[in-house]
Structure 1
């Protein structure tokens, strides 16, 4: 099956390439025409380094009629590439956030529905077996009603690797845009897609400078509180708070309080500890579960069989609406209301 990866802008692009390039059932082609000329971390230079066939632009890659397309561009370019890929008849896996505006997200969903192709949002943590166990334990009734959820998704600033993350014209925002969605998606799963009624956000911009040429700095630390119709309250810490010298790039945890128990989930527990003599820092080896590989396997199976991919574009839209409400709350200093879709 032919698969095309469009753009190397996102930090996950190289990971996806490495997971797919040696599979006997996949013919992988890639393109990154928006890279700055001479950038050694992108474009044909990176494709040659990773040993994958490179195409000059998106049109050339899509002209080969790939069965599946993976979009790892800057956030504000997702809509254009999804619409192009859908028009070419490809099933699509799009990096998160699905889009930066509700209008774009709905247009992407509509384009894929009209073309008869799947649109999947890249939420790999859904595929963690420990999260599956947590979901079962909190929804089977044995622990009583779910009372609150606290999620944390922290990392080093992604602009250390890709400067566009702090350019609102390309990213759509900072830490809230980048990190709210993973936790919001897990909560979405636990609540079967129920939307909050109110969103309150607090944020600051202290942890990294503004992108060169950007009109203003993006937020680098945030805390979001969500209130649901049944009275459930959840919080999301979405900060870029890890220093560059931290032994791990980031982490994601979820704490669920029920009537009878407290249930915790750690997506990336540091199971093994050691010391990196080359960097003179502690070293943590992550757990064996490869969430990106699990997500890609699910996407490729859906593309190959024509089944609907999950999490789909509607899941991406629901989490985006929470992000947009958080920005509205930041603008007003008051809780923002989410109306029924």
Structure 2
């Protein structure tokens, strides 16, 4: 299978390209980037061809593309790729505007190509195990969820609203929100958010707290803040504490174990793992293309999380909770 990369603007592009290069059944043959110097450097690194024109890139015999351009450019790149009959893995968030996301999904449906959104944390073994336990009723009925996706301030285009769509909210709410929808199989009813800029002299928000009510009545809080200093031992975290009527499950995607506080057996259990979630994301996308099956993480999944982000911004502006599909 031949594949190509559209832009190395997002730091995840390097990891994805590395894992593509490690597969014997995939050949990374083409790179397009509107940053010519960066594109040529990456083409040399991965021993493939750089194209300065997107149209020429899309006319090659690649069957799929991975899009890691700035958030605001996703729409145009996805639609152009779909029209060229290329299967697509798009970096999160799917887009910066809801209508753009809908246009992207429609284009891929019309051209019968895969649109998968990059939510690799779904593949973290701890999160997979958590989903299994929740769906099995191990901790009873879910009552509340506290999620975090703290991180370091990424700088660059991430703090330019015209390219990113916002700050930490658009960058980090989506990961936790996708996990919640996937694990508990529920949707958001209302959103209340308080967002601010406290840590850095930037034009977008760098901290906040988002409170959600799911349709089932479950209460959720998400902290998406860019609150980790440069000296922090890792870039950030993705954690969830899921409280049920029979126990509480504490999950950390980036540590070597999850902790299950088992009320029935009156003990704490460790759930170990040791796999790379980005590699599993790439492997899953490749298998979807090779097998012709539907993506594990769809464009609709990307749209649903973006709707929560946009509702959070609206709530912060109005200073009150808003219904997710409130037309205001």
Partner of 1:84: 80
Partner of 1:155: 151
Is the 8 Å Cα contact of residues 135 and 190 (structure 1) preserved in structure 2? yes
Alignment of 1:252 with 2:238, yes or no, is yes
Specify whether residues 21 and 78 from structure 1 end up closer, same or farther in structure 2 by C-alpha distance, changes over 3 A only.
same
Is the 8 Å Cα contact of residues 65 and 90 (structure 1) preserved in structure 2? no
Following the alignment from structure 1 to structure 2, what is the Cα–Cα distance between the partners of residues 258 and 87?
46
Deviations for 1:252-297, whole angstroms, at most 9, x for unmatched residues?
11110000111011110168xxxxxxxxxxxxxxx73210100111
Q: CA deviation at 1:51?
A: 3.9
Question: Secondary structure in 1 aligned to 2:237?
Answer: strand
Partner of 1:275: none
Root-mean-square deviation over aligned CA pairs:
1.8
Following the alignment from structure 1 to structure 2, what is the Cα–Cα distance between the partners of residues 47 and 245?
32
Is the 8 Å Cα contact of residues 75 and 95 (structure 2) preserved in structure 1? yes
Following the alignment from structure 1 to structure 2, what is the Cα–Cα distance between the partners of residues 291 and 89?
27
Q: Which runs of 5+ in 2 are unaligned?
A: 258-272
Deviations for 1:153-185, whole angstroms, at most 9, x for unmatched residues?
0111111xxx10000100000000000000000
Is the 8 Å Cα contact of residues 29 and 61 (structure 1) preserved in structure 2? no
Partner of 2:162: 169
Following the alignment from structure 2 to structure 1, what is the Cα–Cα distance between the partners of residues 231 and 223?
21
The structure 1 residue matched to 2:207, chosen from 217, 221, 235, is 221
1:1-341 map, 5 Å: 1-35=1-35, 42-159=38-155, 163-192=156-185, 194-210=186-202, 217-269=203-255, 288-339=274-325
Following the alignment from structure 2 to structure 1, what is the Cα–Cα distance between the partners of residues 20 and 140?
42
The alignment of Structure 1 onto Structure 2 pairs a total of residues equal to: 313
Q: CA deviation at 1:224?
A: 0.5
Stretch moving more, 218-227 or 49-58 = 49-58
Following the alignment from structure 2 to structure 1, what is the Cα–Cα distance between the partners of residues 184 and 105?
22
Specify whether residues 288 and 55 from structure 1 end up closer, same or farther in structure 2 by C-alpha distance, changes over 3 A only.
farther
Is the 8 Å Cα contact of residues 5 and 67 (structure 2) preserved in structure 1? yes
Following the alignment from structure 1 to structure 2, what is the Cα–Cα distance between the partners of residues 208 and 31?
34
Question: Secondary structure in 2 aligned to 1:300?
Answer: helix
Following the alignment from structure 1 to structure 2, what is the Cα–Cα distance between the partners of residues 269 and 263?
15
Q: CA deviation at 1:299?
A: 0.5
Following the alignment from structure 1 to structure 2, what is the Cα–Cα distance between the partners of residues 58 and 154?
35
Following the alignment from structure 2 to structure 1, what is the Cα–Cα distance between the partners of residues 144 and 249?
11
Following the alignment from structure 2 to structure 1, what is the Cα–Cα distance between the partners of residues 178 and 13?
21
Is the 8 Å Cα contact of residues 32 and 57 (structure 2) preserved in structure 1? no
Q: Which runs of 5+ in 1 are unaligned?
A: 211-216, 272-286
Structure 1 segments of 4+ aligned residues over 3 angstroms from their partners: 49-53
Q: CA deviation at 1:83?
A: 0.5
Deviations for 1:296-325, whole angstroms, at most 9, x for unmatched residues?
111010111111011100000000000000
Partner of 2:266: none
Is the 8 Å Cα contact of residues 131 and 184 (structure 2) preserved in structure 1? no
